[in-house]
Structure 1
Amino acid sequence: MSRPAKVLVGAAEQGVVTAVRNLVGEIDGAELASFQETTHELSAMVARTKPDVVILHDALGPQSAADAVRELVLRSPTTGVLLVNSSLDTTAALAAMEAGAKGVLPYPLTFDDLAGRFEIARQWSERMSGLISGAVADTARDLGRHGRITLLAGAKGGVGTTTIATHLAIDLHRKVEGTRVCLVDLDLLAGDVSGVVEARQRVSIADVAKVAEDLSASTILDALVHHESGISLLLAPLQPHESEYVTANAVRAILGLLRQEFDVILVDGGSHATPAQAAAVEVSDAVAVLVTPDVLAMRSFRRTVQAWEALGVRSESELHVIVNRVARDDTLNVEALGRLTSATVVSTRLPTALRTLERGVNARNPDEVREASWWAAIERIGTEVGVRDLPSGPLGTAPARRPRRQPKAKTKTKTTKSTSKAKAGAEAGQIAVETVALVPLVLLVCLLAWQLGLTAFAMVWNGHASNAATRAAAVGNDPEEAARDAVPDSMRDSVHVVVREDGSVEVSTDVPVMCPGCGSLPTSISKTTDVVYEP
């Protein structure tokens, strides 16, 4: 039995909503998913859920019926759209059909009309899904490779998106032999990848976007800058006004061709939710957002996520969050930050490393960053985000890993190995000595904590003994016997009671050492209480 057809409805008038709900409920094989009250909400829901059939009321706003149908078909080519024509406007109905609607239903609705048009739309959706799935499989098989696209966006400006994206690209190419890596600077207004790696450009992504309708692999390869680090770069335009050429459709076409030519495509998406960025987010295999542990960054992150969800390109739970510039005294720590989002927070946190990165920034050469801990953190982030999940090559074999640096001569290799072993042995011995020296200190701290606990224990039972002795003296019983009965057996011998001439009772208790009954400190705990004698 085939699965039920998922149906979305776009209608705001209660009469239309009720009629559609009742009639769709009577159609076999139809599953009513949800109702949307604006064309924007309907478009976003269609992009996220990819339903089989959409029933659209022509009075739903703010878009016209034809524009709404055109956008729905663009968002989900496999969805069949039916238009409820309550205005009985033949011109508007014809425009909707030309935009891609699969049928027009006159209002008021009848079951026969709806069931017949619904079956046509459902069958069309099934055929289109089969054709598109087959075409995708054939294309992937013919190309023999399918590169992975990872987009990095900044919650706000200045969080380190360009630096992290550049270092991820260089580190991957350096450590995984044979990997073809392309870095795309999609920060159209403030892109600075060329400044981080000192690359001179003749053309930019805007020049490629101008010919997006006739784009070919050779055209886009000619526009790339082949950097000396081994990665390829597609850089942002130098003039801000050229960014208007980089449309959403152009971005999809460019990234689609790059996916055929490279194993890994890293996109610096910038910190502004533009149509171009949203298109890149939509086609990317993974999306990571860089934040800093402060309220402003998290507010900007929330606005960015809401924009993407409204456009239907990516939900919050599908994102990764990379926390940069972490310090011990942060008011908003990483654990608290993780509770503010449903996204996956990357466990590797990048500390504030201005000194570490200063040499590389000034020299415009990431290789000048010499700290191994920094590159180790970059590698771990790449693994967690999925940058390092490389696709198989044309023959189905993944690229082989290689060490960071290759030795130039055998004699140098032996010297390096022996030196490394000697250094490792020295460091191991140093760690062992430090550990042995810390053991007595740790034991002393533990003993002090234990003794403090015993002292508190003695104070509590001394209070119980004092209360029991006072009550016994008030009714004429033996206060010392009552006090000793009120404490554990191991403390009975340490309880001493003195009845003073003024009628008060003093109860003192020794403070045990190590454990009750094993010994006591020179000092004791005492409490004096006035007795009110019964008449």
Structure 2
Amino acid sequence: MKMIKIALVDPDRRFAEEIERMLEERTDIELTAPALDLNQALMLIETQHPQVLIIGPGIGSDISTVFVKKLTAEHPIGCIVLTFNLTDRLKVAAIKANVVEAIEVPVEPEKIIAAIQTAAGYAQQLTVKEDVVVSDHKCTVITVFSTKGGVGKTVLSTNIATSIAQRTDYKVVLVDLDLQFGDVGIAMGLSPDRTMLEFADHLVGIDDEKIDELLVKHESGVNVLLAPKNPESADLISGECVGSIMSVLKNYADFIIVDTPASFNDNVLAVLDATDEICIVLTMDMPGVKNIKLCLRTLGDLRYSREKQRLVVNRVESNVGLKVSEIEKVLGMRSIARIESDKAVPLAVNKGVPVVVDAPKLPVSKELEDLALFYVSKYQPDWVDLRKTS
């Protein structure tokens, strides 16, 4: 059993005593001497190297989040912040500051133990991330995202990736980040022989040759990182692990396209932190418009630049009582692409073939290709069209 060393900091010694009582029967957790302020805590971290720091409510949540942000930039440590009042504002601040978990007191022993174990895992992933070599290689990350399910994120992701791979000589990686219910494999006709689980196991010291082995190659030239076979395996991949995977892939590929689940979970936030372009997808219905309006607000609260955000309207129809121009006015954002509704798209998905391959001459395929080439032209303005040179 691997020992987890934790440090505690709070000006009230009773806080440390309470945590010690909660953990007194745990043989896998070692406590350092408690610190009374953040300066003492920093000295403990630098001399005793705990994997986890628990910051008590007496420190103050604002000071705690600022401290954690600076601390985790320099030390591989997982931090837990306890607070008397866990507000939505604090939740957002905690996420941005790399706090593993913010918890309102009083707290049950089971919850604090679970948080300690999660924080220790985070510290381990930070250690792995330190081993990742960063190069000058320029890679563009395009994340296809929506907080509403069923809008066609996977169709856009697979066809954007396929279009770039077919029309250029750039190395393209497609990542299925919907770790529980991802459909990239089905949409591309690929078997999940190798998935993100296997990739995560080989992060330390990984090279391009090993990456080639772990990615699944599609006939279009796209290299695919598939979601795990079983939904329960999703819990084995943390946001920190996803961040490390993205760091590795950015040194390997020229373009990374990420298909996401419909939520702001830790894995999605890790990808958004590494993203150059957020392709926000919606369809022509009022529930979807309302959902995307909230999505845009949340992206703003999380301090993701508006300049990164691009709106794509999918399954455009003229007889649904709603115009694209009306949607754009409500959202305060112009769309960069309008993808028409066409039954050829689900037919292609059911065949396991991207529609740009299955029916390349259809208008919907041209619209998807144009969207892909918009990104190519922006980030690789000197790109060569292989279709014109062949």
Q: TM-score, normalised by structure 2?
A: 0.63
Pick aligned residue for 1:402 from 352, 367, 386: 386
Structure 1 residues 211 and 370 mapped into 2: Cα distance closer, same or farther (>3 Å)?
A: closer
Query: How many Å apart are 1:73 and its aligned residue?
Result: 4.3
Deviations 1:134-190 (A, max 9, x none): xxxx9544xxx31211111133111111011111111121122x2211111111122
Structure 1 residues 324 and 234 mapped into 2: Cα distance closer, same or farther (>3 Å)?
A: same
CA contact (8 A) 2:163 2:372 kept: no
Distance 2:197 2:334 in 1: 33
Instruction: Name the aligned partner's letter for residue 352 of structure 1.
Output: S
Instruction: Name the aligned partner's letter for residue 341 of structure 1.
Output: L
Pick aligned residue for 1:156 from 134, 148, 160: 148
Indicate yes or no: 2:352 matched with 1:351: no
Indicate yes or no: 2:55 matched with 1:71: no
Pick aligned residue for 1:169 from 161, 170, 173: 161
CA contact (8 A) 2:200 2:241 kept: yes
User: Hey, what does 2:323 align to over in structure 1?
Assistant: 333
Distance 1:340 1:209 in 2: 41
Distance 1:206 1:304 in 2: 29
Indicate yes or no: 2:189 matched with 1:198: yes
Query: How many Å apart are 1:300 and its aligned residue?
Result: 2.2
Distance 1:378 1:76 in 2: 43
Structure 1 residues 338 and 59 mapped into 2: Cα distance closer, same or farther (>3 Å)?
A: farther
Aligned positions of 1:461-476 closer than 5 A: none
Instruction: Name the aligned partner's letter for residue 218 of structure 2.
Output: H
Distance 2:140 2:253 in 1: 8
User: Hey, what does 1:361 align to over in structure 2?
Assistant: 349
Greater relative contact order (Cα < 8 A, sep 6+): 2
* SS at structure 1 position matched to 2:229: coil
Deviations 1:88-131 (A, max 9, x none): xxxxxxxxxxx9xxxxxxxxxxxxxxxxxxxxxxxxxxxxxxxx
User: Hey, what does 1:115 align to over in structure 2?
Assistant: none
Deviations 1:283-309 (A, max 9, x none): 111111110121211222233334434
Query: How many Å apart are 1:68 and its aligned residue?
Result: 5.2
Query: How many Å apart are 1:363 and its aligned residue?
Result: 1.8
Indicate yes or no: 2:268 matched with 1:277: yes
* SS at structure 1 position matched to 2:143: strand
Query: How many Å apart are 1:219 and its aligned residue?
Result: 3.9
Instruction: Name the aligned partner's letter for residue 248 of structure 2.
Output: L
User: Hey, what does 1:113 align to over in structure 2?
Assistant: none
Structure 1 residues 208 and 311 mapped into 2: Cα distance closer, same or farther (>3 Å)?
A: farther
Unpaired runs of at least 5, structure 2? 1-56, 76-96, 98-132
Distance 1:329 1:76 in 2: 56
* SS at structure 2 position matched to 1:238: coil
* SS at structure 2 position matched to 1:261: coil
Indicate yes or no: 2:217 matched with 1:226: yes
Distance 1:276 1:356 in 2: 32
Deviations 1:196-246 (A, max 9, x none): 111112221133234545555444332100111211100111111211232
Q: Paired residues, what number?
A: 278
Distance 1:218 1:330 in 2: 50
Query: How many Å apart are 1:380 and its aligned residue?
Result: 2.1
Structure 1 residues 244 and 292 mapped into 2: Cα distance closer, same or farther (>3 Å)?
A: same
User: Hey, what does 1:524 align to over in structure 2?
Assistant: none
Percent identity of the aligned residues? 21
CA contact (8 A) 2:376 2:383 kept: no
Structure 1 residues 296 and 206 mapped into 2: Cα distance closer, same or farther (>3 Å)?
A: farther
Q: TM-score, normalised by structure 1?
A: 0.47
Deviations 1:306-360 (A, max 9, x none): 4434444x144531110011111233321111122244421x311111x222431
User: Hey, what does 2:78 align to over in structure 1?
Assistant: none
Instruction: Name the aligned partner's letter for residue 400 of structure 1.
Output: V
Pick aligned residue for 1:262 from 253, 256, 259: 253
CA contact (8 A) 1:317 1:342 kept: no
CA contact (8 A) 1:147 1:391 kept: no
Structure 1 residues 242 and 216 mapped into 2: Cα distance closer, same or farther (>3 Å)?
A: farther
Structure 1 residues 67 and 350 mapped into 2: Cα distance closer, same or farther (>3 Å)?
A: closer
Query: How many Å apart are 1:372 and its aligned residue?
Result: 3.4
Distance 1:197 1:381 in 2: 19
Instruction: Name the aligned partner's letter for residue 142 of structure 2.
Output: T
Distance 1:209 1:298 in 2: 36
Unpaired runs of at least 5, structure 1? 1-57, 78-98, 100-137, 393-397, 407-535
Pick aligned residue for 2:288 from 292, 297, 313: 297
For the aligned residue pairs, the C-alpha RMSD in angstroms reads 3.1
* SS at structure 1 position matched to 2:331: coil
* SS at structure 2 position matched to 1:158: coil
Structure 1 residues 271 and 67 mapped into 2: Cα distance closer, same or farther (>3 Å)?
A: same
User: Hey, what does 1:236 align to over in structure 2?
Assistant: 227
CA contact (8 A) 1:161 1:290 kept: yes
- The structure that has the greater radius of gyration is 1
* SS at structure 1 position matched to 2:316: coil
